[in-house]
Structure formats: C-alpha cells, structure tokens
Amino acid sequence: MEIVCSHCHAEIQLEVVPDWCPACGGALLERASTSESAGAASPAPEIDRRGIVLPRRHALGGIITPQ
C-alpha cells in the first residue's frame, strides 16, 4: 500500500504517516502499490525532510515522471 495526497499526489513515506499532506495540507489516501517489482535491483527511494518520497531518477540522471 502507498499513501498519497488527494490534492498534489505526493507519495508519503510509510514510516512517517501524518494526518495531512506535509507539502500542501491535503487529505491522505491509501492506494495499491504501483511499483514495478522486476528482477533488477532498484536503489532505495530518496526521501526528503518532510517524509515525501522523491521521484525516481533515470540512469542518465533525469527524473522519471508519469505521462
């Protein structure tokens, strides 16, 4: 399960679960995990000081964003 904001869609770290989104103050929702569990080892996600999971980075350095 993932915890995301209903307003800004920020993904919140599971260990730090506040009542409201630390980025915008929106309500938090639980959703099914959409992470890809391929055989390749993926690095641990980066988490900022507010507990928000940062977007994954491409092997060449760019940020991977959903289209």
Three-state DSSP at 63 gives strand
Q: What angle do CA 37, 3, 16 make, to 5 degrees?
A: 105
The reported pTM is 0.61
Is 64 part of a structural domain of the chain? yes
Residue 19 lies in a domain: yes
Predicted confidence (pLDDT) per residue in 1-49, tens digit: 788 889 988 888 878 778 888 889 899 999 887 665 544 566 777 888 8
26 occurs within a structural domain: yes
Domain span at 57: 1-35+45-67
pLDDT (tens digit per residue) in 45-64 = 788 888 888 877 666 666 66
40 inside domain:
no
What is the model's pLDDT at position 35?
Answer: 60
User: pLDDT at position 38, please?
Assistant: 46
Give the pLDDT of residue 34.
65
